[in-house]
Structures are given as structure tokens and as C-alpha cells.
Amino acid sequence: MNLVSHLLQRQLRLPPPSTRDLVVRRDLRVPMPDGVVLLADRWAPRHGGDGLPTALIRTPYGRRGLFGTILARPLAERGYQVLIQSTRGGFGSGGTFDPMRQERQDGLATLDWVIAQPWFGDALVLVGGSYLGYVQWAVADRLPPQVKAMITQATESALSLEFLRADGFGLAASVQWGVLIANQERRLALLRQLLQARRTNRALRTLPLARADIVALGHRSQYIQNVLTHNADDPFWAAADHRRRVAETRVPVSSIGGWYDLFLPGQLRDFQALQRAGRPARLIVGPWTHAQFHNVGMQEALGFGLAHARGQQPPPRPPVRLYVMGQDAWRDFDSWPPRGYPPQRFHLQPGGALSPEPPAESAPDRYRYDPADPTPSVGGIALRGGGRVDNTALEARPDVLTYTTAVLDRDVEVIGEVSAEIWVRSSLANADVFVRLCDVHPGGRSYNVCDGLTSLTSADQLGSARVRLWPTAHRFRRGHRIRVQVSSGAFPRYARNPGTGEPHATATRLRAADQAVHHDPAHPSAVILPVRAET
């Protein structure tokens, strides 16, 4: 294990360990109020571990092997004792795993149990990303005084509800995660995941989608059935929505996100709620995807978290630290969104132009969207992969419109919330509008910055579709161009719109649609960018 520890230190660029002589107590039994027992492993220095600050990690992905080593060992070697617990229904813990809907009571009971243990000192720090961060929000408004800080990464307080929206169902993330949790305890699970991809991709194209779990797994998945039949506003998910708890969080929170992370909008919403409530919080957003491996969460646990656990203050810094893409530099701000970036409209123009000037009289641009050959998702937001990629092939498709500025004569910096208003009419009542912001480099390659989709139910009537894109921090360099894509989908990130009005789970027919995008004085389609132009 010393070799593993050494490699982790080099990869994560962590401070030197205070000890590498650790002991791991396996399968500690943590009773829940309903009699179910959850299992946990405790990592601690062999000598002097009792009484150290405790890092609590609650995970549905298992406690052992490389996963446990990467999460627990670096912390236990550098000032913590670590309790890593398997959530209900997985990896030896009792009960049935019902994702997102059971973490509050189990989390509160676990906190009470930890504090009562003879090895516990007087400080507890909650640590983890994605689902491991979400479980922190589930208890955030009822933390005992022994909890000194939260470190949340690539997560938010209403996990998954963003991509369960009725007006923009995130298909790929929902099904892929359902497949992951269904297979993860099988023998040779990692190898199976690699071999599973083809079956999962086939499942995403299945009609009706209600059979996607059978195609992907060979059996029913209750989670996949739930996400297909209950959208984000369904009372079914009420127990999974912890947004109301955020402003009641009393402990300092360090929140780490990525510009290409699927949970970023909710994470920024949570941070704003903390700031409005006057809670101690700070934010870091880097150029990362959801699954991208980096060291910031561990560094925050060892710096921000340990300082608060020891009754100290971490080194002072502004509350918001953002990686500005294009400039490729970290910058500090006082708030999100930063002040000094007023919204500016860039209007779609005839001939594929994009300009702050109002549009002239012009005929609409037209294209045909066929869900049997759906516009693909390329890079961008994804559970796996994604990120910044070359969009050249995507933009060559006949079902993708592009609008591009002239070559910029100065840098244009965009930091904040991005949206679009697209005047559209479809030959069908049901249609989607997907908008993507891109940076076109001097050589002509177009790279995606941020994007978003909305679904319409009266698209056969000319109207303005309001599309909320992912937030961003990006500098468009002098000599580059700003580009906007408009299309009707990004499959399989978003479920393809069948055009029939049938629910996604039961739709069996696909209808192609003729789309018209208007850009004239009466219908001024535009992307709205928070801009500070620099000379």
C-alpha cells in the first residue's frame, strides 16, 4: 500500500503524509432507526488515530479496493480518521437501495452514531462528490455542532432533477447511471462496464423506452423505470429534493464544480442560496467534466476542511474562484454571477451571421429534423466523456444551423448565466430547440463552450423559445469568432423528441418535422451573453 500512497501523492499533488501506518477496521455496523444495519470501514493512523477529526464519506459505490483507497487513504494519512459507509442496499449494507429518496434519515442516523463512538473526537467533516456530495445536502439543515464543514464536489441539492425535466429529459445520464448501479456488485464489474456500452447504446434507441432496461440489462431496473415515468415535478421525487435545506446550512461549505459538469446549474443555484442567506461558503469552478479526475476536492478537504475542524480559519481568499476558459487562467470574484457582466444580445442574422446589431428583414432559415436520424450530442455535458471537442462534423449536418460573428477585433469575456431566445415554428406541435455557444478559432475549428435545450408543446405556432444554456466563464480571443448553433436535439444526451406528443416512456412512433428559425425585426432571435468587452 505504500506504493499506492506514493502514486496518489504524486498524482494528486498533496502535502506529504504525516503517517503511512494505517489500520482499517472493516464492516462496522451502523444501525438505522428502522432496524436496517449499514456497514462502514474506518481508516485511521495505527497510533494516535482516536480523537482526530473524522471525515465522513457515504457512498453507493462500495468501500473497498481502489475506490476506498483513493477516497480514504490520502485523508487518513494527512490528519483525519475516515469513516466510509455503504449506503442502504449496497455492498453489504441492509435494506433496498432507492436512489436519492432515503438518504436523509440514514444520513442523520449515521451522524448520531459517529458522534457516539469512543474513537470520535469533537470534529466531523462531510466529504464527497456527485452522489457522495448529494447525501451531504440531504442532512445539511440538521447538522449537529460537531460537524465543522462540508466539501461538496460536482453535485447539488436536487440531484438528477435537472435532467428529469419534462421540457428536456436527459436520457443518457439517467439510463447509464441506472445500468452502472445495477451491475456494480457483479463479479468483474469494471470489465462488465466496458463490455456493457454497446448494449446500453442500443437501449437508448429502443422504442418504447420503457424497455430500455430490458435491452441494456436483460431485466427490469426500478430506477430506470422511475426516471422514465416520473419527471422532475412529480411528487414521487419530493424526498429527493433538498433545495430548501441549503439556506439553513450553518457550517462552512466549499463547493467544487466543472463548466462541463451535468450538475453545474444546480450547484451554482445552491451557492447563490448560501450567499443570499449570509452563510460561509466558497466556490471553485474549473474546466472539468463530471467524471474528470482532479485533485481540488482532496485539497479542499485537507485545507479548508481540516482548518475548520481544528477551529482555525483557512487562508483568506475571495469566495469565488473561476477558471476562465480561453484565457486559461484562474480568477477570483466576490460573487456568482460576478458583477460587471451585463447581458448583451447577439442577434441571429440572415446569411448565417451573428451580431449585436438588430436583425434586418429576412426570410427564416429552415431545416428538417428526423428523430430516426437524430442530431447527435457531441462533447458537452455527459455522465462520461463530454467536454470541449471539435464541432466541425456536427456543424456540417443539414439539421444544424450556425450563426457566426465577424472576426473579433478585441477580446470578449463572457462570465455568468447564458440564455437564448429563438423564434421558431415547426410543422409539428411538439419539437425541441437546442442551442450551443461555440468558439471558432482562427484555423476554422469550432469548439463548444456551453449549451442547453428546451422542449415545446405548441411549436406549430410561431413563438419565442427561451433556452437556458449552461453557465460559463470564457474569453473569446481577438482573432476568434463567436458562433451559435441551433438544432432540434442532442441525442442521446437528451431523449429525441418523437414529434407525436407521446410520453418518452411509451412513444413508439417517430415523426420528422420541418423547422423554421426566424430572425427579423419582429422576431429577433438572439443569444444573451453576460459580456465585459476588453480592448
Q: Is 43 a member of any domain?
A: yes
Contact status, residue 204 vs residue 210, Cβ threshold 8 Å: no
Domain of residue 436, CATH code: 2.60.120.260
How many structural domains compose the chain?
3
Q: Calculate the alpha carbon distances from 21 to 10, 57, 74, 77, 302 in Å.
A: 18, 21, 12, 8, 18
Q: Is 7 a member of any domain?
A: yes
Question: Residue 10's pLDDT is what?
Answer: 58
Rounded to whole angstroms, the Cα distance separating 154 from 259 reads: 10
Q: Which of 226, 295, 205, 198 is closest to 256 using CA atoms?
A: 295
Question: Residue 534's pLDDT is what?
Answer: 61
Q: Write phi, then psi, for 305 (nearest 5 degrees).
A: -65, -50
Instruction: Extract the residue ranges of the chain whose pLDDT is less than 50.
Output: 1, 535
Q: Is 404 a member of any domain?
A: yes
Q: Is 325 a member of any domain?
A: no
- 289 and 352 belong to one structural domain: no
Q: Is 506 a member of any domain?
A: yes
Domain that holds residue 510: 343-534
Q: Which of 231, 251, 275 is the last residue of a domain?
A: 231
Domain of residue 270, CATH code: 3.40.50.1820
- 105 and 143 belong to one structural domain: yes
- 24 and 55 belong to one structural domain: yes
- 87 and 60 belong to one structural domain: yes
Question: Residue 14's pLDDT is what?
Answer: 86
- 373 and 400 belong to one structural domain: yes
- 434 and 461 belong to one structural domain: yes
Rounded to whole angstroms, the Cα distance separating 523 from 525 reads: 6
- 251 and 227 belong to one structural domain: no
pTM: 0.96
Q: Which of 317, 352, 372 is the last residue of a domain?
A: 317
- 413 and 510 belong to one structural domain: yes
- 12 and 91 belong to one structural domain: yes
pLDDT digits 0-9 by tens, 7-57: 555 566 788 898 889 999 999 999 999 999 999 999 999 999 999 999 999
b/e 142-173 (16+ beta carbons within 10 angstroms → b): ebeebbbbbbbbbbbbbbbbbbbbeebbbbbb
- 358 and 426 belong to one structural domain: yes
- 244 and 287 belong to one structural domain: yes
Q: Is 337 a member of any domain?
A: no
Beta carbons within 8 Å of 374's beta carbon, 6+ residues apart: 489, 491, 496
Q: Calculate the alpha carbon distances from 265 to 109, 242, 259 in Å.
A: 30, 15, 9
Q: Which of 183, 202, 231 is the last residue of a domain?
A: 231
Rounded to whole angstroms, the Cα distance separating 334 from 340 reads: 11
Q: Which of 429, 427, 436, 417 is closest to 489 using CA atoms?
A: 436
Q: Is 312 a member of any domain?
A: yes
- 191 and 43 belong to one structural domain: no
Q: Is 360 a member of any domain?
A: yes
Q: Which of 478, 483, 497, 488 is closest to 529 using CA atoms?
A: 483
